[in-house]
Structure 1
Amino acid sequence: MNQKFSSNSRLVFYFLRSSKRYFGIGILFAILASFIDLINPKIVGFTVDSIIGYKASSLSFIDTGFLREHLYLVGALVIGIALLGAVCRYIYNLMNAAGSETLVQTMRNSLFSHIQKLPFSWYIDNSTGDIIQRCTSDVEQIKNFLSEQLTSFFRIIILLALSLFFMSQISVFLTIVAANFIPIIVGYSLFFRKKISQSFLVADEEEGNLSSIAQENLTGVRVVRAFGREKEERDRFEKQNNIYTSAYMKFSVYISMFWSAGDGISGLQVMMIVVLGALLCVKGEMTAGDYIAFISYNAMLVWPIRQLGRVISDMSKAGVSIDRIRYIMNSQEERDHEHPLTVDMHQDIVFDHVSFRYKEEAPYILDDVSFTIKKGETLGILGSTGSGKSTLMYLLDRLYEPTKGKITIGGVDIATIKKDHLRENIGFVLQEPFLFSRSLSENIAIAKKEATHQDVIEASRIASLDDAVSHFTKGYDTFVGERGVTLSGGQKQRTAIAQMIISKTPIMIFDDSLSAVDTQTDQKIRNALKENVHDSTVIMISHRISTLKDADHIIVMNEGKIIEEGTHQSLMNQNGLYKTISDIQSLGGISHE
């Protein structure tokens, strides 16, 4: 795998490219707010000791007598400084929000764009639910960490440094006592980090499995209902939900232990400072004003110390999410040849000793297959389920690459042809076509940007869809539900055929795409194709002999090999598998599947 992002930090910086200026401004104002927050305790301490009290001030330029008579001025100064801090925090929160949303936008756009370019085989190895999980929950986890924790890190460091500095000016002894708790909190945070990371990874993966089950059931709801599998699918969902819940409960145990330990240690630190500070006041080693100021600074110190522990803890969760997203971003995109070609696709297609298997240890789906499709002719492909018929077409469209052999168009190896050019010139209609949640007209015109309404009507006529559309209340503006759920199987197939016809590609592939229409409509569509797309090379895959019998050339496949080849009449004369299937179908039997 090409490691485009060799580390999590490289990926994070890549995603931050559009939002770093917002986070930068936000961090600057967070630091300013922290600095401003440290001023008021000093003013309060000075007021108690030198204005309300009579301790001599080292600040000779301040008229303590005047301020004692106009104490409201000190209050106004404290309020003014507090308001200035509030303004800085407002700008910080605003910039942080803008940065986090821009970050999420960049992450989603980058992920979606990259996923669109991944090879077809990648989708076989990764479930849709898990991909969605990575692109939603994991993205949100990274956003929360960067916007809520990482941006606070700089403010935490400033607060720690300045708090300890001001505290040391008041009492070195109490400062050492307070500072001794910092390594303890960092230490237990590092201890819990690994456990939190491991448990969160398990919970995150189980949530992905749960999402996959939900996604499968939502898209396959008609199958579930048709076979009455509601109880079985509910039980399967509940079982996985229990696994996910247990994993998340284990994760929650570690989080609870982590925060409880933090509360206990922080409370102990505050108690020690309060008690020891009071003892110093009783002994006369610390004034009341210094004691109040020190307690205030210590309160400011406790928050960043605990927040630093949370940063370390949340870093483990964010690290898991970044790893899961980095897996997607490092997945190899489809790549063209070093010098891709754009050739005339109206030429002969040759499969030259082509073999294919999905993985090295897997059996061959295709084994040494060779045949030629002449320019402009119609090829019929017949074969049992799993014989490799559809795989041939996936190889031609370069959704897969041959394990052995090569495929050429006009003598040019398709591996050297630019993929966009190849696929723009190959129309593909599947047995189970996918339709988008748009109008019927939009679905048909999706393959041709400049398609007119007249083009849509003409393509529908060739696909024998026009008659069905005439019965729709809204005609071509009829909304097609998700995956074409509002249409019948035959209407979906004919819509997909019209979708391909409108683009008028030089190569047209029908992968058992007439299986849901009756034989009369089947014949009508094939006749219309002959009349209107006679310049194109047509490849028809079917289990019906009636669909294939008019093809110029027919091949019969079994277990990944071509076992018969010829015209309809010559194959009937061979008395082989083709004739056997024809005889069964002509008698109204079941086709050989």
Structure 2
Amino acid sequence: MNEEKKSGQIFDLVTLRRLYAFIRPYQRQFYLLVFVILLGACLSPLTPLLIRYTIDNEVVAGDYAGLTRMLLIMVAVLVLSAIVQFSSTYMSGWLGQHIIRDIRIQLYRKILSLRLKFFDNTPIGRLVTRTISDIETLADVFSEGMAAVAGDILQLVLIIGVMFWTDWRLATISLSMVPLMLFSTYVFKEKIKDSFNEVRAAVSNLNSFVQEHITGMSIVQIFSSEKIEAEKFRAINNEHRKANIRSIWYYSIYFPVADILSAAGTGLVVWYGAREILNEQVTFGTVTAFVMFINLFFRPIRMLADRFNTLQMGIVSTDRILTLLDSNDYTVNNGSYVPDHLRGNVTFDKVWFAYNDENYVLRDISFTVNEGDTVAFVGATGAGKSSIINLLSRFYDINQGHITVDGVDLHEYELGSLRRNIGVVLQDVFLFSDTIENNITLGDKSISREKMIEAAKLVGVHDFIERLPGGYDYNVMERGATLSVGQRQLISFVRAMVQDPKIIVLDEATSSVDTETEELIQEAIGKLMKGRTAIVIAHRLSTIQKAHNIIVVDKGRIMEQGTHEELLQHEGFYANLYRMQYKEMA
């Protein structure tokens, strides 16, 4: 079943037990909240009883002193009830916000730990829904759900008990409308549950569509698809509107019906009570108290329908959050090896790798890169070049074979230590909506501004950054939209180099820049690769002719390898690729 549409069971003990684990750090506040809510439930039938006593004793007797005394007592009860209501509202909101803060932090840390394969198969909109909408729904469970339901149920039980204790005949007549009320509440609960599921599914679709199309807005405008996409959005938005209107329709029917039934119960009590008053079988104060009891009784019944749906939605959201938290689709970081000094010897030994099942994208890959050497990979798109560098950083784990760095298997390295020693510059540069400094250091306080400026000067980008408004404090906006492709590429180069990695990986790092910027990068590469191991992927063969080893990859296999001159003499894949590229440039 689509997880956006499934419904939860309120008394799912496994989920509730897991949910209680998040409450455990705030047990004292939670039990205090439960006590306050139960105290409020106990206070609710007190006011009608006081009014009954006042009318039947003080008013009838004309005892103004006693009447004043009772009024003061009722004012005190009302003030106490107001304090209890304020306390329960504030404490439930406080508890809910603290718990969802903890859950959101835990969930986001989990997302950060998941491997790239998970993100390949999971829509971003769904993850956004988990970390925002689902957790907000969970907050309602604490502010309007569990403790409030317990208070409402206790209030109903107390009121029924007090009513029968006061007058069983009036109690029976008062509750004559309850079966109809319970039936209408049950129907409403089921209908509103379905409509809430539809609303949630519509919101998820809306979020996914908007996120995806805003991200790809350049493609939409390049191909003049604005009208087509607007129509798609109109259709999705209409589904969202219809789903919300259906829920509004059910509310519009239920609450008037509930009020009619409550009024009918009140009318029956007044009719029967007036007759009994005339027959001197009951007192005026008793009938007045029962009119108040009916209002107190039907109000929590109306609220229970909403609260049960809140709990159901909360259980569903909790299930989805727990499913994500329980995901084991992450890179296992069992290694503990943290070298004092990484030399940078890299070896792939008979490596096989598939993103899905047995569809191997790398087949029997073996090569060695010695410390300080440069190896270059060339080949057609989809040949497997980028997969090789993804495996080196353990973004994905291999199916067969071994990968070692300095003779130590990758799985024995502490993951953070391994990745800190591998500087990666990708073709598709991602910059966060933040300052240039934070995009370079990524918030690492151990990287001083002096070290960052030194790396920027080495790359040759310092003067350009200083000319920007604010210099290194300039905000590049989302995805670096205020910078050119070449400028973003240069900043990403500084970001990799400021970590002082022992292994440098360049994945088409110069394919998106102009000739002048490429020359700048090539000059910086010459300085930065000295004493470091470099792995380069490039379409432009002119950028890799000085590599110590060039490996030609085709359909996941190594076809040939050697220096530039050796491969040209071999008259194989590389020579053909070289002639084709220079023929295009001629």
TM-score normalised by L of structure 2 = 0.90
Report deviation, 1:406: 2.4
Report deviation, 1:265: 4.2
Structure-1 residue corresponding to 2:43: 36
Structure-1 residue corresponding to 2:343: 346
Structure-2 residue corresponding to 1:414: 410
SS in 1 for 2:313: helix
What code does the residue aligned with 1:406 have? H
Structure-1 residue corresponding to 2:545: 549
What code does the residue aligned with 1:356 have? F
Structure-1 residue corresponding to 2:432: 436
Verify the 8 A CA contact 1:190 1:312 in the aligned structure 2. Answer: no
- Structure 1 window deviating more from structure 2 (533-542 vs 470-479): it is 470-479
CA pair 280-142 structure 1, distance change in 2 beyond 3 A? farther
- Structure 2 distance, partners of 1:259, 1:124, is 46
Give CA-to-partner distance per residue, 1:341-365, whole Å, 9 cap, x none: 334532421222222222226x222
- Structure 2 distance, partners of 1:335, 1:357, is 16
Choose which of 503, 506, 519 in structure 1 pairs with 2:502.
506
SS in 2 for 1:354: strand
CA pair 381-186 structure 1, distance change in 2 beyond 3 A? farther
SS in 2 for 1:351: strand
- Structure 1 window deviating more from structure 2 (205-214 vs 265-274): it is 265-274
Choose which of 276, 283, 294 in structure 2 pairs with 1:280.
276
**Number of aligned pairs?**
574
Structure-2 residue corresponding to 1:58: none
- Whether 1:360 aligns to 2:362 is no
Structure 1 residues 554-593: aligned runs within 5 Å: 554-589=550-585
What code does the residue aligned with 1:352 have? D
Structure-2 residue corresponding to 1:139: 135
Structure-2 residue corresponding to 1:220: 216
Structure-1 residue corresponding to 2:54: 47
- Whether 1:98 aligns to 2:94 is yes
Verify the 8 A CA contact 1:194 1:316 in the aligned structure 2. Answer: no
Verify the 8 A CA contact 2:331 2:394 in the aligned structure 1. Answer: no
Consecutive unaligned residues in structure 1, runs of 5 or more: 55-64
Structure-2 residue corresponding to 1:455: 451
CA pair 71-186 structure 1, distance change in 2 beyond 3 A? closer
Report deviation, 1:431: 0.7
What code does the residue aligned with 2:112 have? Q
Choose which of 296, 299, 302 in structure 2 pairs with 1:300.
296
What code does the residue aligned with 1:454 have? E
SS in 1 for 2:360: coil
Verify the 8 A CA contact 1:192 1:313 in the aligned structure 2. Answer: no
- Structure 1 window deviating more from structure 2 (113-122 vs 334-343): it is 334-343
Verify the 8 A CA contact 2:52 2:288 in the aligned structure 1. Answer: yes
What code does the residue aligned with 1:13 have? Y
Structure-2 residue corresponding to 1:393: 389
Structure-2 residue corresponding to 1:317: 313
Report deviation, 1:318: 2.2
Give CA-to-partner distance per residue, 1:257-316, whole Å, 9 cap, x none: 555554454444444333333343344321111111122122211112222232223322
CA pair 312-577 structure 1, distance change in 2 beyond 3 A? same
CA pair 261-129 structure 1, distance change in 2 beyond 3 A? same
Verify the 8 A CA contact 1:18 1:102 in the aligned structure 2. Answer: no
SS in 2 for 1:365: strand
Give CA-to-partner distance per residue, 1:89-121, whole Å, 9 cap, x none: 222222222222212322222221221112211
- Structure 2 distance, partners of 1:542, 1:288, is 94
Structure-1 residue corresponding to 2:115: 119
Structure-2 residue corresponding to 1:374: 370
- Structure 2 distance, partners of 1:335, 1:222, is 33
Structure-2 residue corresponding to 1:25: 32
What code does the residue aligned with 2:132 have? T
Verify the 8 A CA contact 2:378 2:539 in the aligned structure 1. Answer: yes
Consecutive unaligned residues in structure 2, runs of 5 or more: 1-11
CA pair 39-521 structure 1, distance change in 2 beyond 3 A? closer
What code does the residue aligned with 1:25 have? L
SS in 2 for 1:587: helix
- Structure 2 distance, partners of 1:279, 1:400, is 82
What code does the residue aligned with 1:47 have? T
Identity of aligned residues (%): 29
- Whether 1:10 aligns to 2:17 is yes
TM-score normalised by L of structure 1 = 0.89
What code does the residue aligned with 1:355 have? W
CA pair 265-106 structure 1, distance change in 2 beyond 3 A? farther
CA pair 234-543 structure 1, distance change in 2 beyond 3 A? same
What code does the residue aligned with 1:376 have? G
- Structure 1 window deviating more from structure 2 (271-280 vs 541-550): it is 271-280
Verify the 8 A CA contact 2:135 2:317 in the aligned structure 1. Answer: yes
